Amino acid sequence: MTRLATPPHHGGLLVVQPLRHKRCAACRRGPLSLLVVEDGLPRCLECADLGHLVFLPRGDTALTRRSREESTLSALVVRFNRRKCRYERQGVLVEEAALVRAEVRCLADAEARRRRRARDAKRRAAEDVRFTEAFAAEILRLFPGCPVGRARAIAAHASVRGSGRVGRTAAGRALTQGAVVSAVVAGVRHVDTPYDQLLMSGVPRYEARRRIAGTVEAVLREWEAGVEIRLTG
């Protein structure tokens, strides 16, 4: 029987996924999907006293690490990559009970992460509500004639998390006058003018803005001159 080269390995047990059909040198069982090289000869897992172990494919680092921690006996599984001329990890063999315990630990961590994400989402939602209210209040301070509903709508649109809109910029989060005015101008442009229709009809953006500039300015002047309206509720 042709002797096999032992794959390089630093410590621990090593199991090989053979590229060619191999039979166990001891019991002649085969072809083998996994084998151990002993004295240059292939041995099946049963003959190598590893038959009670289960295979865990690579991919889940945490599960693999914990399975090996929980398992009294474990082995690294490798396969030769001809193109790269090297052995590569395919997974591990561990005790089935150890794998179950490791899965329970990972599920507990996943549940903890889920709860943490839920808490974080709730906290961010509350922060967003407070910020939107502050943004709307600043709009009404600068434009006291702006209807409360419009101020809230403009603030909500400008401050959507992850949108990249003016309310999420550093200037917007600081409630600078320039950022607030930009948000109001954008709101007026899209709601109180035919700007969107002009764009849909093929008018270039800068030309469309030029055509509706007068209307935007008129609305802003009206809102600036209005009686102050306070947010309620």
Report the chain (233 residues): mean pLDDT per 10 consecutive residues: 58 86 88 89 90 91 92 92 89 93 90 85 88 92 93 89 75 86 92 92 93 93 70 38
pLDDT digits (tens, 9 = 90+) for 26-62: 899 889 889 999 888 998 999 989 989 999 999 889 9
Distances (CA, A) of 31 to 1, 9, 34, 50, 165: 15, 24, 9, 17, 62
pLDDT digits (tens, 9 = 90+) for 140-154: 999 999 999 999 999
Structure token pair of residue 151? 């101020």
Q: How far apart are CA 161 and CA 155, in angstroms?
A: 12
Structure token pair of residue 77? 């599984």
State the pLDDT at residue 138.
92
Q: CA 99, 104, 108, 114 torsion: positive or negative?
A: positive
pLDDT digits (tens, 9 = 90+) for 93-109: 999 999 999 999 998 88
Distances (CA, A) of 224 to 53, 130, 194, 232: 77, 24, 22, 20
Q: Are 99 and 54 in contact (CB under 8 A)?
A: yes
Q: How far apart are CA 225 and CA 191, in angstroms?
A: 20
* DSSP-based three-state secondary structure for 10: coil
Q: How far apart are CA 4 and CA 41, in angstroms?
A: 6
State the pLDDT at residue 3.
56
DSSP bridge partners of 93: 55, 75
Q: Which of 61, 232, 37, 36 is nearest to 140 (CA)?
A: 232
State the pLDDT at residue 9.
61
